[in-house]
Amino acid sequence: MLSKRIIACLDVRDGKLAKSVKFVDTKDIGDPVLKAREYYEDGLDELVFYDITASSDARNIMLDVVEQVAKQVYIPFSVGGGARTVEDANRLLWAGAEKINVNSAAVKRPELITECAHAFGAQNTVLSMDILRVETSREFPSGYEVIINGGRTPMGVDALGWALKGEELGAGELVVNSIDADGTREGYEINLTRMISEAVSIPVIASGGAGKPEHLLEVLTEGKADAALVASMVHYGDYTVSGLKQWLHEHGVKVRLRY
């Protein structure tokens, strides 16, 4: 059985580490470069960097910040925000990213997923999905809708259908981010994560809602996620990456420990 991964998320706005609750009330909380180094030295498995206003502002990602963060870590580094073309994605790779994270642009133009997978490999092409719970209907049989532009624009796209389509188009991994749970620290959206994990054959990263170690245990077991993304619980210093991994290990979850 493959080890479960712990992934830290750096949401960056105007070059600063930011955090929001349910995609609103965003606050600047620190230096993403310093945090990246701290988490890497503490045994983090992977790092995700999102420029959270690049898509909504219709601009390219801040490559200088990506470059600074990339110099601090020697683990898989995934970057998203504002990548609309293979050329945009290529610039991110040259800046130090290992994986390309597509989201809003892929919903608008799904062939972007295939183009990136052909250019860089499926293993380096990640489809991120920002998802909101809605009433189950013919339009949304899963009960979840895809939202783009940093949680600003509903797309009338069913989340489960989009996950399956993303895999078909060539994505090698999915980030399933619950807007309802984001920043609440009350636990991941287990139903959503499990539903998508059971439907696809590619790795699923659970995102949104982590507040204590029990939440990670739940989503990695009951939620069937391959990886758990954390943000607030480590950004604010309540937990450390190494402490979370040790706790999971002691509770029967296979993780990579540093000895």
pLDDT tens, position by position, 105-136:
999 999 999 999 999 999 999 999 999 999 99
- Give the global pTM: 0.92
Question: Residue 200 above 70 pLDDT?
Answer: yes
Q: Minimal CA–CA distance to 119: which of 95, 167, 85, 96?
A: 85
Q: How far apart are CA 199 and CA 163, in angstroms?
A: 8
Q: What is d(CA 124, CA 10) in angstroms, rounded to the nearest whole number?
A: 18
What is the rounded distance in angstroms from the CA atom of residue 100 to the CA atom of residue 74? 16
List of domains in the chain:
5-250 (3.20.20.70)
pLDDT at 115: 98
Average pLDDT over residues 248-254: 97
How far apart (Å, rounded) are the C-alpha atoms in residues 154 and 161? 15
CA–CA gap between residue 23 and residue 97 (Å, rounded)? 24
Q: In degrees rounded to 5, what are phi and psi of residue 60? A: -80, 160
Least confident interval from 15-19, 71-75, 170-174, 210-214: 15-19
Write out 173-195 in H/E/C secondary structure: EEEEEECCCCCCCCCCCHHHHHH
Catalytic residues: 11, 130
